[in-house]
Copies of this chain bind each other. A is one copy, B any other.
Amino acid sequence: MSITPMWRVDRDGSMFTDKKAAEEHDRMLELADGITGMLEANFKIDEQLAEEIGLLMSRNKDILAKAFKGKPEVLQEIQSGSEPAADNTVDIREAVA
């Protein structure tokens, strides 16, 4: 018999084996929802666009926090294509290229 404890993030149903990762993901979605809600409360904006902006900003929350604390130039680092490096390890293919 083999069973594995899993953690489900109720906001989007995604599953995690690691509790901390699940909590992190839930906090990310909560912040994204907050930004989306703030945009929709203050602007006539397309719902999907508001959600995508919320997610992009939430995924880059550390960069955004720096920008709002007086370093707006860091905003240029945000590219929706690239996931922010979870840590500062360089992709090995880039490193050896």
Which residue numbers of A lie inside 8 Å of B, CB to CB?
27, 30-31, 33-35, 37-39, 41-43, 45, 49, 52-53, 56-57, 61-62, 64-65, 67-70, 72-73, 75-76, 78-80
Task: For the complex, give the distance between the alpha carbons of A37 and B62 in Å.
Answer: 18
Q: In the complex, which residue of chain B has the Cβ closest to the Cβ of A27?
A: B70
Known: A39-B53, A53-B39. A65 touches B69 (CB 8 A): yes
Give me 18 other A-B pairs in contact (C-beta within 8 A), A41-B78, A43-B52, A64-B68 excluded.
Answer: A27-B70, A27-B72, A31-B67, A34-B73, A35-B75, A37-B76, A38-B75, A39-B53, A41-B76, A42-B78, A43-B49, A43-B53, A43-B80, A57-B68, A62-B68, A64-B64, A65-B68, A65-B69
A49 touching B45, Cβ below 8 Å: yes
| A64 partner residues in chain B, CB cutoff 8 A | 64, 68
- 8 smallest beta-carbon distances between A and B, as pairs: A34-B72, A65-B68, A42-B80, A34-B75, A31-B72, A38-B75, A61-B68, A64-B68
